[in-house]
């Protein structure tokens, strides 16, 4: 998550200037995510995490309630944070207990029919700097200084020791092998778990800037010269154990400022571009500014990579630390409309019960304005989607698609709590809905129109 430190960069400030072009239509030519049966997927969900517990207690902060409540609210997707430092506490020693804890969460996800992406998460590299992620034994700083910033943890990414640690991770042969082996271990264990959709290879990667580089130039170079080969190495590691899962690749967080990524091609047929969607001003506590053009600038920048390389987009994190501010209703409406134009889905940050970023309060009710993330959508379509849109004002969702000529004939709609009236045209029929779900059966090759309205 980006912090106020980035706003000091003149190049970023320029990129945040008000946009003049409307972003609608930028999602054209962005491929859609599919499952193993070729059905078009849309993912709406949340990150689930336990950053507090470690070692024997790792992941105990995630309970069955998290998955049950998410599904009950109409969400079908979870991005599960896991930490390399818990998985491999000593070189070559993998924690069987931690693997079992991951599997327990995946089993709950399967029970509630929630798809999961396993995210190799890091914040400020890892435990050597007081956070979670890359193990301390894999952290090399060459003795460079590090100063903690307790009031602005993201600023710690710009400390010399942290930046040098990223350089060693990308360039040292033994650390490259260790990182790939870590992913082989995860993929070998979970390749056949029915809840696993894919793997997010590293969360919010950063790197070391060079003298004279501005932030955008450094980010593009790191993405081009270090992240791209890293992702290709890790893809090879995963594919030695799992041939089918999607591989989620992230740019640096600088893309959130409307900076197009410098990532190159990841040579794998099942790659998802997985940027994050945060505004520095909001991260620092400011209200949303509808006139700043931030969402439009982000949307234009973030769609360039998937169009160039023909990969789908799933936004891995987004949200606001204070959703009660006066313009937050507008923010969530604008953000949901934007995400619906070009992504195959998203994971909000974060499904927990409390304050701050939490989606829900202690009683499980949505925190202010976060109920706007719960809307009808087609979680899987057996065919080619022509259009899909939701109007929050009227409460109407519309879907048109060309049904597949063979294979599955059933598309699945996800519905938030409430009463919904579902209709389909004459070539299709709505099967008996279940709570939170509706299924549409279509004739092979037919054109289908579906409408979902609040009852």
Residue 316 near residue 277 (C-beta atoms within 8 A): no
**Most confidently modeled range among 1-5, 131-135, 430-434:** 131-135
Predicted confidence (pLDDT) at residue 433 exceeds the cutoff of 50 = yes
pLDDT of residue 11: 33
Q: Degrees (nearest 5) of the Cα angle 367, 369, 371? A: 75
Crossing angle for the helix pair 160-171 and 173-190, to the nearest 10 degrees: 70
pLDDT of residue 27: 64
CA dist 280 and 155 (Å) reads 12
Least confident of 152-161, 310-319, 397-406, 428-437: 428-437
Q: How confident is the model at residue 255 (pLDDT cuts 50, 70, 90)?
A: very high
pLDDT in tens, 307-366: 999 999 999 999 999 999 999 999 999 999 999 999 999 999 999 999 999 999 999 999
The partner residues of 44 in beta bridges, in order of sequence, read 346
pLDDT of residue 230: 99
CB-CB neighbours of 330 under 10 Å: 15
pLDDT of residue 108: 98
pTM (two decimals): 0.94
Q: Find tokens 């799933």 and name the residue.
A: 314
Q: How confident is the model at residue 455 (pLDDT cuts 50, 70, 90)?
A: confident
Distances (CA, A) of 118 to 45, 263, 356, 380, 443: 13, 21, 23, 20, 36
CA dihedral 364, 349, 411, 113 (to 10 degrees): -60
Residue 109 near residue 70 (C-beta atoms within 8 A): no
Predicted confidence (pLDDT) at residue 411 exceeds the cutoff of 60 = yes
Kindly report the three-state secondary structure assignment for every residue of 293-306: CHHHHHHHHHCHHH
Average pLDDT of the chain, as a whole number: 93
pLDDT in tens, 23-71: 234 466 899 999 989 999 999 999 999 999 999 999 999 999 999 999 9
């Amino acid at each position: 998550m980006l912090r106020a430190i980035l706003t000091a960069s003149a190049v970023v400030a320029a990129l945040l200037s008000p946009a003049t072009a409307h972003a609608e239509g930028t999602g054209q030519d962005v491929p859609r995510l599919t499952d193993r049966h070729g059905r078009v997927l849309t993912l709406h969900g949340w990150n689930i995490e336990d950053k507090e517990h470690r070692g024997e207690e790792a992941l105990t902060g995630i309970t069955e309630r998290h998955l049950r409540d998410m599904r009950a609210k109409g969400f079908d997707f979870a991005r599960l944070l896991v930490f390399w430092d818990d998985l491999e506490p000593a070189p070559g020693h993998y924690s069987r207990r931690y693997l079992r804890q991951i599997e327990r969460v995946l089993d709950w996800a399967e029970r509630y029919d929630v798809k999961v992406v396993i995210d190799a998460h890091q914040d400020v590299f890892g435990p050597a700097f007081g956070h979670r992620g890359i193990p301390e034994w894999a952290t090399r700083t060459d003795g460079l200084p590090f100063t903690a910033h307790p009031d602005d943890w993201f600023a710690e990414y710009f400390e010399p020791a942290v930046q040098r640690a990223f350089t060693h991770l990308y360039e040292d042969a033994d650390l490259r092998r260790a990182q790939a082996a870590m992913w082989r271990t995860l993929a070998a264990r979970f390749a056949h778990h029915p809840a696993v959709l894919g793997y997010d290879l590293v969360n919010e990667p950063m790197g070391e800037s060079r003298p004279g580089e501005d932030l955008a130039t450094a980010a593009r170079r790191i993405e081009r010269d270090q992240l791209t080969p890293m992702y290709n190495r890790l893809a090879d590691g995963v594919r030695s154990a799992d041939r089918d899962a999607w591989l989620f690749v992230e740019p640096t967080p600088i893309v959130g400022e409307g900076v197009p990524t410098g990532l190159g091609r990841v040579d794998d047929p099942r790659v998802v571009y997985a940027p994050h969607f945060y505004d520095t001003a909001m991260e620092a506590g400011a209200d949303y500014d509808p006139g700043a053009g931030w969402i439009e600038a982000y949307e234009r920048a973030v769609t360039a990579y998937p169009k160039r390389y023909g990969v789908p987009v799933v936004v891995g994190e987004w949200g606001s630390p204070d959703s009660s501010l006066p313009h937050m209703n507008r923010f969530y409406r604008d953000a949901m409309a934007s995400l619906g134009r070009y992504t195959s889905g998203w994971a909000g940050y974060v499904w927990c019960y409390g304050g701050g970023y939490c989606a829900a309060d202690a009683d499980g009710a949505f925190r202010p304005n976060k109920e706007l993330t719960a809307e009808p959508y087609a979680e899987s379509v057996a065919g080619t989607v022509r259009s899909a849109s939701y109007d929050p004002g009227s409460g109407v969702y519309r879907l048109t698609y060309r049904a597949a000529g063979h294979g599955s004939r059933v598309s699945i709609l996800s519905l938030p709590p409430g009463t919904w009236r579902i209709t389909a045209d004459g070539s299709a029929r709505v099967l008996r809905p279940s709570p939170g779900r509706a299924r549409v059966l279509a004739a092979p090759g037919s054109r289908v129109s579906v409408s979902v309205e609040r009852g």
